[in-house]
Structure 1
Amino acid sequence: MLAYQCTLRSGAHQATLTDSSARIFKRTLATYLKRLTLTDFRSYPTLRFTPAARVCVFAGPNGAGKTNLLEAASLLVPGRGLRGAKVSELARRGREETSRWAVAAQLSGPGGLFEIGTGAVEGAPERRVFMLDGAKPRSQSEIAERLAAVWLTPQMDRLFTDSASGRRKFLDRLVIALEPHHAREIAAFEAAAAQRNRLLAENPDPLWLDGLEDSCARHAVAATAARAALLAGLNATLASGAAAPFPLVRLGLNCAIAEKLRAAPAVEVEDALRAAYKSARAQDTAQRGASLGPQKADLLITDAATARPAALSSTGQQKSMLIGIVLGHAALIAATCGAAPLLLLDEPLVHLDAAHRAALFAALTTLNLAAWVTGTDIEPFAGLQAACYRVHEGVIAPL
């Protein structure tokens, strides 16, 4: 069933991306979502949806289930999805409340058709499992190697004025999309640091602390190196014009470990961190937390043209910068992996002026990637060539 094609033009505000971005995506193969099936997920008791085009727009009032649809797609890759929700929060609530839910999809990628499924585990409310082509993968990295997804949500509009913790989470999501093992490094550091904090309060054997501090140092350096590598690649991609005409930003990492890695090999930095943890035991006992580590880092975002911190820009400028970062990240994934990611944009037109709205439409139309986009009304999407749908009470109907 074909959906109505939104092909009206936006007059004088038409815009296109640079040749650099077009070349990147032209050299890659997109991964298309051919079918999405939901069972007891959020507001959907059951759903079987077959997109009619690589770019889909979902319109409907607040609470209709548009974001739930994008969240389901985001859960096809490792991680906690675009809302960062717990596994137990994803099951449908209502008269027939359940703790189990499932999301499954058929996709078409560079290697042909494949299927990914994920869902809650019976008796383990906070655990979810993956299936790849009907079999359990050896690790979630196998899933990440087949599919990447990047997204933009209204909550991310606060990135520039949010806490350092919020910016770290944003940065780590960008890293994980290209390096799935990064999630394990962060988790391993946090587990070792938490255990060290508990032991410091108990006056333990110093040898125990030596072992934990060795683990903290190794995982801290690995996580920081991955963050720095991602930022270097993303800055180079953005500087090439991959996200123009959206504002060019410069991304940096305010991190003591990153500073050390710029001046010395990783092995030397690990040794220095072990010594620093040992000398800081009294201080860390008093403050009940490690004074060093990747948990102290902050993502720096500045306007490349003016060197002004993005936090000082207007709301509209910040939204344009954020979209540029997301498109640049998608271009980096495409150039690195040879396959474009699935792009999920929840309410992307909020705060955008007509020129940047047209630029976004040009990107979605020109670039070889699959994108799902939401909005409360369909009219603002005039000018975007897409399959358009109305979402209402768990039903998706073509317009």
Structure 2
Amino acid sequence: MALDRITLTNFRNHPETRLAGTAQFNLLVGENGAGKTNILEALSLLAPGRGLRRAALTDLPSQSGDGGCAVSAELDGGVQLGTGIRPNRPGRRIARASGAEIPALGLSEWLSIGWLTPAMDRLFSEGAGARRRFLDRLVLALEPGHAKNAARMENALRERNRLLGELAEPDPAWLEALESQLAEAGALVAQARVRLVAALSERLATLPEAPFARPELAYQPGGPLNAAELAAELASTRRRDRAAQRTLTGPHRDELLVTMAGKGQPASACSTGEQKALLIAITLAHADLLQDSRPALLLLDEVAAHLDPLRRTALFDRLRAGRAQIWLTGTELAPFEAIAAEASVWRVRDGSVERQG
């Protein structure tokens, strides 16, 4: 058990929601719009980043509240984790551990969180940017420093593109300084992605090809992985990039390639059901990595409803064998019959919860 005594205050449609007596499996059951996913989103914010919806901070507080909101939970060992927004500081998120304010990145020292939502079903049909964001979220759960490196890379990239787009010839010294920053941070970002793909691939290689389709992963870099080599390439392609008015080399052009093992078929060409199975397999392999070091949560939004009974049983068996605390949502209890007796179950209605059983 990772988290217990969870409280949501003025968060989305939850004015004051408390969940206690958690188990390895935790089921949130209710009609669409009741607030089930809002609870998962609140839990996802007990880790660095923007949560499973990537929402703006101003969207999180309840419309009927004072502009602030809070999420707190007790971790094994009695550590109290919390995050939220003060009413007078709507654009700033605060985080706490046992009452002491900490950087949001500090939350990752206590807890690792992964998730799978219906919005992610489009991952293999969207552009490469969606897969880079997915990859970075997986890296961040394992390597908290990745967020700082990614931010430095994005800032340097944005400034370089701005200079390349100006009418006047950019100052070479200023470009060189920006390219040095971009190469240093970008190489760290790319190398972290490489490590993550290698670790996931190792876990996935041990899995059978049924009942879930087994994915094979490949990392396609958008430029050199070495900082010095990347800086040299950026310098040598200034004329080309100036004509394009954007940087055409670097980790911002990386791609995650996913193939269905056995068929050798790209995920983008697989059926909707096969793509879902591939995504579940990647999520479960990542959950295995998460629980190796810190207490881990796995948030699965509406995942069981889209699986046949055979795959549901296989999913629950895989989850039961791990050490992560699992949170699942559904509109009815029937798909969860195989785990209902061992789970904590809450009925969610209009932003409130009622413990079942």
Q: TM-score, normalised by structure 2?
A: 0.93
Q: 1:388 corresponds to which residue?
A: 345
Letter in 1 for 2:197: L
Query: 2:143 is matched by which residue type in structure 1?
Result: E
- State how far apart, in whole Å, the 1-side matches of 2:309 and 2:124 are: 22
Provide the residue aligned with 1:234 in structure 2.
Answer: 200
Once residues 51 and 282 of structure 1 are traced to their aligned partners in structure 2, the CA distance between those partners, rounded to angstroms, is: 62
- 1:323 matched to which residue of 2? 280
1:28 counterpart residue number: none
1:5-84 equivalences under 5 Å are: 31-84=1-54
**Post-superposition offset of 1:97:** 4.4
1:11-68 per-position Cα deviation (integer Å, ceiling 9, x unaligned) = xxxxxxxxxxxxxxxxxxxx52111111110001112221342211111111000000
Distance (Å, rounded) in 2 between the aligned partners of 1:88 and 1:117: 18
CA change 1:175–1:44 in 2 (3 A) is same
Q: What's 2:74 paired with?
A: 106
CA distance in 2 between counterparts of 1:288 and 1:90 reads: 36
Whether the 8 Å CA contact 1:105–1:117 is kept in 2: the answer is yes
Mapped to 2, the partners of 1:243 and 1:373 lie a distance apart of 24
Partner secondary structure for residue 126 of structure 1: coil
Q: Partner residue of 2:318?
A: 363
2:213 is the counterpart of 1:247: yes
Match of residue 120, structure 1, among 85, 96, 99: 85
CA–CA separation in structure 1 for the residues paired with 2:291 and 2:88: 38
Distance 2:212 2:24 in 1: 23
Per mean C-alpha deviation after superposition, the further-off stretch among 128-137 and 348-357 is: 348-357
Rate the CA distance shift 1:123–1:288 in 2: closer, same or farther, 3 A: farther
CA distance in 1, matches of 2:196, 2:66: 39
Of 48, 72, 95 in structure 2, the residue corresponding to residue 130 of structure 1 is 95
* DSSP 3-state at the match of 2:196: helix
State the distance in 2 between where 1:376 and 1:332 align: 30
Question: Are 1:319 and 1:352, in contact at CA under 8 Å, matched by a contact in 2?
Answer: no
Does the CA contact (< 8 Å) of 2:209 and 2:261 recur in 1? no
Q: Secondary structure at the match of 1:380?
A: helix
Which consecutive residues of structure 2, in runs of 5 or more, have no partner in the other structure?
none
Between the two structures, name the one with larger relative contact order (CA 8 Å, sep ≥ 6).
Answer: 1
1:245 to partner: Cα distance: 4.6
Whichever residue aligns with residue 74 of structure 1, its letter is: S
**Does structure 1 residue 276 correspond to structure 2 residue 233?**
yes
> Cα distance, 1:70 vs. partner?
0.4
Candidates 356, 373, 377, aligned match of 2:328: 373
Letter matched to residue 289 of structure 2? L
CA-atom RMSD, angstroms? 1.8
- Residue of structure 2 equivalent to 1:19: none
Distance verdict in 2 for CA 1:185–1:243, change over 3 Å: farther
Q: CA deviation at 1:332?
A: 1.3
Stretch moving more, 61-70 or 361-370: 361-370
SS of 1:136's equivalent? strand
Aligned position for 2:180 = 214
CA contact (8 A) 1:59 1:390 kept: yes
Q: By how many angstroms is 1:86 displaced?
A: 1.1
Gaps of 5+ in 1: 1-30, 262-268
Give 3-state SS (helix, strand or coil) of 1:78's partner: coil
1:129–1:117 Cα change, 3 Å = same
C-alpha displacement at 1:242, in angstroms? Answer: 8.9
